[in-house]
Amino acid sequence: MPVIQQVTSTVKAARLTHPFTTAKHTVTEMDSIYVTIQLENGLIGHGAATPNEVVTGDTLATTQTVIEHVIAPKIQGLDLADWQQLLQQVKTAIEHNTPAKAAIEIALYDLLSQWFKVPLVTLLGAQPQPVITDYTISIGSTTEMIAAAQDKVAAGFTALKIKLGTSPLSEDLHRVQQISTAVGPQVRLRLDANQAWTTKEALVAVAQLTQLGLPIDFIEQPVKAGNLVGLKQVTQASLLPIMADESVHSYADALKLVTTHCCDYINIKLMKSGGLSEAEKIDQLCAANGVGCMLGCMIESQVSLAAAVAFVASHPNVKFADLDAVYMTDEQLKQPYFELHQNKIYLNQQTGL
């Protein structure tokens, strides 16, 4: 196989169609680093990183520096055939910096699937198929959130993720009930507190939500990421499934939570894990231990989302997809990676991404 000749990156911004608010921050713009890796035969692979300092601690500047000056020198001159060595070089080039690693890995997987002349989803072991995603209702007034929820249900979404955590707990729970009443019991709800609750508040929340009997798939990251004792306590007390998000970035994190029974589900994100290979390890661990997964995303580029969609389509233990960022920005690309029809994402059946 040909060797890697060049790694380049560029930064571009895209506007969000609406501000996106969680318990942690508000986002109005998506800043992404677009990576290209060129082989000596001219083949080009594409990847992208969208750092989120609140989640991973990475900034746009540090991520681009790591891509160009730390990881790129480690892989230039290596042969694509030395696949495991390539992945190891990316993983060990520097501690943390997972968005940079994810962007490079996605471009490498794009190259490998192009080399074998198959779509990425086929390289990962499946045939192209549509992926159903939920849509996230960001924090606003109750009236605004109800209107947004009704709008997305009318657009064809059958599951909504509801962001919580900036209001008193009683107000949050009442808001969830009002949203469910407005959209109807056929719409599944996924509640995300983004670490906003104390253990005591989370225990109250799960008890009251259970009594309400709403169509809830899970409650995501109810307590602080490092509060594993509290997370386990909530999981054991709750009749509703509990999902870990910010508590799990790496395989080591997942191993700790799975072996101590701290959660029912784990939310994998490529920007947290550092790419597809670590995501694969996390999913295999979870599958072997009866823990389901969701594949989530930041507000990120279609390039990395295409890799995420391929991962969902090829991993049956991924029970949920939260890949709605593709609906949220005005990102302009030369070539679209998928088609959207209501809540379904259809990958292009081209080679590579």
Report, as residue numbers or ranges, the catalytic residues.
163, 269
Domains of the chain with CATH codes: 4-117 (3.30.390.10), 122-347 (3.20.20.120)
Predicted structure pTM score: 0.95
Q: Could you tell me the pLDDT band of residue 120, with boundaries at 50, 70 and 90?
A: very high
C-alpha to C-alpha distance for 273 and 96, rounded to whole angstroms: 9
Distance, CA of 213 to chain centre: 28
Among 129, 132, 131, residue whose Cα is nearest residue 158: 132
The model's pLDDT over 301-334, given as tens digits with 9 standing for 90+, comes to: 999 999 999 999 999 999 999 999 999 999 988 7
CB 176 within 8 A of CB 206: no
Q: Which residues contact 12 (CB under 8 A, 6 or more apart)?
A: 31, 32, 34
Q: Is 220 annotated as ligand-binding? A: yes
The model's pLDDT over 174-203, given as tens digits with 9 standing for 90+, comes to: 999 999 999 999 999 999 999 999 999 999
Q: Is 58 annotated as ligand-binding? A: no
Q: Which residues contact 114 (CB under 8 A, 6 or more apart)?
A: 43, 45, 351, 352
DSSP per-residue letters across 88-132: HHHHHSSSS-HHHHHHHHHHHHHHHHHHTTSBHHHHTTS----EE
pLDDT, residue 24, reads 77
29 DSSP β-pair partners: 15
